[in-house]
């Protein structure tokens, strides 16, 4: 069975990757939201649940079986080793889920959307990479507008924990500029035409 062309799409916090993914979705493109699926799998995959409990303790989950995000956030915030450990447990299970999902898709190409495609090395497993970019000042402004519980220092800390933009640009096959100067939809349409008619 021939799998569809697999396109990774990522971007730093506030860059607008989810917006761009929704535009692709409106064009009928299947989109796998890896970050959203990870949240589901962390409570529904019994193997992963046991791994997380073994590493972080039973307090990682509420009595009703839902994930205690506050506890896990405090357990990993500012601790690179602990965060890397959590990622090393979650990402293989998400990868397995994505593979099964991809096999069920009947479309010339699919999108795999995730915030950390570069940071965790997942970008090497897709055929092409799209990077959504925007100036840092604009990204910070967007995050503060959509999430009033965050402050500028927190957003800058998140940006600092992600790969530098220039490193992502080097590894991207396609770049979508979401800088409020260039129209996003024409950029998406151009890539949609390209991927829909791709000949491997």
Specify the CATH architecture of the domain 36-104: 3-Layer(aba) Sandwich (3.40)
Q: What is the mean pLDDT of each run of 10 residues along the chain (200 residues)?
A: 91 94 97 95 94 94 93 85 90 93 95 91 93 95 92 88 90 96 97 88
CA 48 to chain CA mean position, Å: 19
Report the 10 Å Cβ neighbour count for 18: 16
pTM for the predicted model, two decimal places: 0.89
Q: What is residue 61's DSSP assignment?
A: B
Residue 141, pLDDT score: 94
Residue 198, pLDDT score: 84
Here the tokens at position 15 are 């860059």
Determine the Cα–Cα distance for residues 25 and 186; give it in Å rounded to an integer. 15
Q: Where are the domains of the chain?
A: 1-30+107-195, 36-104
Same fold, 1-30+107-195 and 36-104: yes
Determine the Cα–Cα distance for residues 51 and 92; give it in Å rounded to an integer. 12
Residue 157, pLDDT score: 87
Domain 1-30+107-195: CATH class, spelled out: alpha beta
């Amino acid at each position: 069975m021939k799998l569809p062309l697999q396109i990774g799409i990522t971007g730093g916090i506030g860059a607008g990757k989810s917006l761009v993914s929704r535009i692709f979705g409106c064009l009928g493109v299947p989109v796998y939201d890896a970050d959203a699926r990870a949240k589901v799998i962390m409570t529904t995959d019994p193997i992963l649940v046991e791994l997380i409990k073994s590493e972080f303790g039973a307090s990682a989950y509420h009595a009703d079986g839902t994930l205690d995000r506050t506890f896990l956030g405090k357990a990993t915030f500012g601790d690179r080793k602990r965060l890397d450990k959590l990622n090393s447990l979650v990402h293989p299970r998400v990868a397995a889920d994505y593979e099964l999902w991809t096999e069920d898709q009947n479309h010339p190409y699919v999108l795999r959307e995730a915030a950390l495609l570069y940071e965790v090395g997942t970008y090497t497993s897709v055929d092409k990479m799209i990077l959504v970019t925007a100036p840092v000042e604009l990204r910070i402004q967007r995050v503060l507008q959509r999430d009033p519980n965050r402050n500028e220092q927190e957003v800058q800390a998140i940006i600092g924990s992600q790969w530098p933009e220039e490193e992502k640009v080097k590894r991207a096959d396609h770049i979508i500029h979401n800088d409020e100067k260039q129209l996003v939809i024409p950029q998406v349409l151009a890539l949609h035409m390209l991927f829909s008619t791709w000949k491997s």
